[in-house]
Chain A
Amino acid sequence: MTARDEVLARIRTALGPERRPPAPVARDYRTTDDRPLPELLDVLTDRLTDYRATVLRCAPDAIGATVTAALDTALGAGWVPGDVVVAPGVPEGWRPAGCTEDDGRPAVELPAFAASLTGVTLAIAETGTLVLDASPVCGRRALSLLPDLLVCVVTADQVVGSVPEGLARLDPLRPLTLISGPSATSDIELQRVEGVHGPRTLVVVLAGD
């Protein structure tokens, strides 16, 4: 008997010949969040800030300028636009002039960039979570991982209140990355320290009136 058949046979033996149908799962927990959008944007900002991310709020027509301002603050004056790598689907208006578009080069070359710039597929306010789905605007997974500074642009229409609302909108067949703050660890005396292997700095540009 193959291992597969044997493990399956063991399960059938363990469960016995007379199986009771499993009891239905009551989903009486909250699946929607009725708070108005401005409140959700405030919650998202609060949660991300709590994780030591920087959140810059701006009007929808000021994303490009805010991204540049974020890079000025995080990288210091004199940063080189070519050192910023952007996901291929990031709109022209968000990009700093002269930045490098990710062309699928070997991932080992990505840590040399000072920063990466991506969009998100959605954001969950209650947990302060950004979701990237490897679509063109989010870029491949390595892009938001290897450069030390990650700048993510979130537009107000992408913000949902709760985890159930967020997951319902996602495609489970895509590679998904849920990001809640910069890389962190609690491994030393269970105290949270930001910045281990992923980007040590996370800046979120949140656009909405």
Chain B
Amino acid sequence: MTAVHLGMPKAQRPTLPTAPAGVGNLRGDRPFPAAARDALRDGQLRANLGAATTTIRGKRAGVVAEVPDWAQLREAGRAIKAATMARLDEHLEELERQVTARGGTVHWARDATEANAIVTALVRATGADEVVKVKSMATQEIGLNEALEAAGITALETDLAELIVQLGEDRPSHILVPAIHRNRAEIREIFARTIPGVDPGLTDDPRRLAMAARTHLRERFLRARVAVSGANFAVAETGTLAVVESEGNGRMCLTLPQTLITVMGIEKLVPTWRDLEVFLQLLPRSSTGERMNPYTSLWAGVTPGDGPQEFHLVLLDNGRTAVLADEVGREALHCIRCSACLNVCPVYERAGGHAYGSVYPGPIGAVLSPQLTGMSGDENDPNASLPYASTLCGACYDVCPVAIDIPSMLVHLRGEHVEAQQRTTPEAAAFRALARVMSHPRLWRLAQRAAGLGRFLARGRPTLPAALPPPASAWTRARDLPTPPRETFTQAWAREHGA
């Protein structure tokens, strides 16, 4: 008799520090099912999300379909990212050399706390008590705004959606459009309530709302002395950084202040200038569904007479090296933050971004957040619930511009989570029993015969009733359990061919 092993083969790999708890925004305060249940009751939220994701899915599909070599670009994007990770240390050292040679200063941060301290010290050194910010996932991840505020420095978000979130004292719910959960009427209400001196006749026409933001921020841009940005890409061989945006708030921040501080995850670089020819085609079409976004700014160090004369680049680890150590999981570091996977995800579309707890929601968040923070064996760890926040339908993989196999990674992380559990869960006990039954042919036949009893409960329907008694209810509450067939395969074989 061979014992049947039910589970994932365990890989030996080095353990590296994950993102520290207690700082930043990578972990919510309750598991996904609990948070999602509240979101599902919010009809307005579901209507807003449904309308917005339907719009963007259509736009993306249209502009992707018109590119005849999309499949080749996607594969090139994947291969470039894989090659980048394989030599990440060398590329980072080259980036540092190039940025330094062009008048920039490079800082390294082991984690969120260190990155926040570096940026705070840099801002303090300028004497400024206000910074303008370009939308950046990295600075949201580390909770930079909160850290600056604690140091008496006001961080002003300038991206329209970020501004809506900041003025509404809300949390972002989407990578690209953090205020996707708000409709125009709600945004009008937030602006009317919070922007000093706003036109009392402000309507909910998106054009008028955008104008209100323009008026509100213009003077702040002109007086700002320090800007903080993220980066979409950094080119190792030239030291060139890239910020991709739409509104021009990015250009304002990257051009007008005297000092520019860019915070970038260590995985965001590409080795060569030529690599951008791939990503500048993949990103806009996947992200906003445009052939090209309105503005892309590229700069290398400092240019005398044009733009900031002081440039700092902060390279952030915060758990990324721990992700890199997992040969399956490291593909999550290929993400270029386009958010296409959010827009096609049936779970995201219904639950919304807040349910994921982390600043990285949706399918990519479900694989990235738990890896950055690590999953504790504690059954109440919110991030340990994220790999289960998926139906494994695979739509995210299909649209990913760098072909990240999110469904396989979710399954991999579920395995990791089960391995990490300290307590025996009902599920683990069930699987242990199943492994024993599957190892003994006689028990297996008995169990199959017993399963046939389920047909009585179903009373002719294709699925069993949802209201099964515990512990079976834990499964049937959220899933259909098919009615067992009249006979098993072995029984059918024996009947037709003789035992």
Contact = CB atoms under 8 A, between A and B. Distances in A.
B86 A19 contact: yes
A77 interface: no
A178 B277 CA distance: 13
A134 to B, nearest CB: 5
Given A167-B277, A183-B248, A197 B164 contact: no
Given A145-B248, A184-B294, A197-B249, A189 B52 contact: yes
Nearest to A106: B222
Contacts of B228: none
A75 interface: no
Interface string A26-56: 1111110000000000000001001100000
Contacts of A10: 16-17, 317, 321
Interface stretch (A59-67, A113-121, A123-131): A123-131
Interface size class of A (residues with CB under 8 A): 35 or more
A179 B295 contact: yes
B221 A14 contact: no
A25 B240 contact: no
Interface string B280-311: 11001000101111111111100101110000
A189 B16 contact: no
B425 interface: no
A31 B68 CA distance: 12
Nearest to A104: B305
A189 B48 contact: yes
Contact of A134 (B240, B306, B324): B306
B80 interface: yes
Interface residues of B, number: 101
A180 B177 contact: no
A163 B293 CA distance: 13
B247 A29 contact: no
A73 interface: no
Interface in B213-269: 213-214, 217-218, 221-223, 235, 238-240, 246-249, 251-252, 254-256, 266
A174 B298 CA distance: 8
Contacts of A140: 305-307
Interface string A91-114: 000000000000010011001000
Interface stretch (B142-150, B204-212, B409-417, B491-499): B204-212
Contacts of A24: 79
Interface in B5-22: 14, 16-17
A83 B3 CA distance: 84
Contact of B291 (A8, A21, A180, A193): A180
Contacts of A23: 79, 82-83
23 contacts: A6-B110, A11-B266, A13-B325, A19-B87, A25-B79, A28-B69, A29-B76, A30-B69, A141-B251, A142-B256, A167-B274, A167-B277, A168-B274, A172-B238, A176-B299, A178-B297, A180-B293, A181-B294, A189-B55, A190-B177, A191-B55, A196-B160, A197-B214
Contacts of A157: none
Nearest to A142: B255
Given A134-B303, A174-B300, A192-B288, 15 more contacts: A4-B108, A11-B324, A16-B14, A27-B76, A28-B76, A29-B278, A140-B307, A163-B277, A167-B273, A173-B238, A179-B295, A187-B159, A190-B56, A190-B180, A197-B252
Interface centre among A2, A27, A50, A199 (most CB of B within 10 A): A27
A198 interface: yes
A183 B213 CA distance: 13
Contact of B79 (A4, A6, A26, A193): A26
B306 A187 contact: no
B333 to A, nearest CB: 10
A81 B317 CA distance: 52
Contacts of A178: 280, 292, 295-298
A177 interface: yes
A172 B56 CA distance: 32
A72 B272 CA distance: 44
Contacts of B109: 3, 7
B93 interface: yes
B233 to A, nearest CB: 11
A183 to B, nearest CB: 4
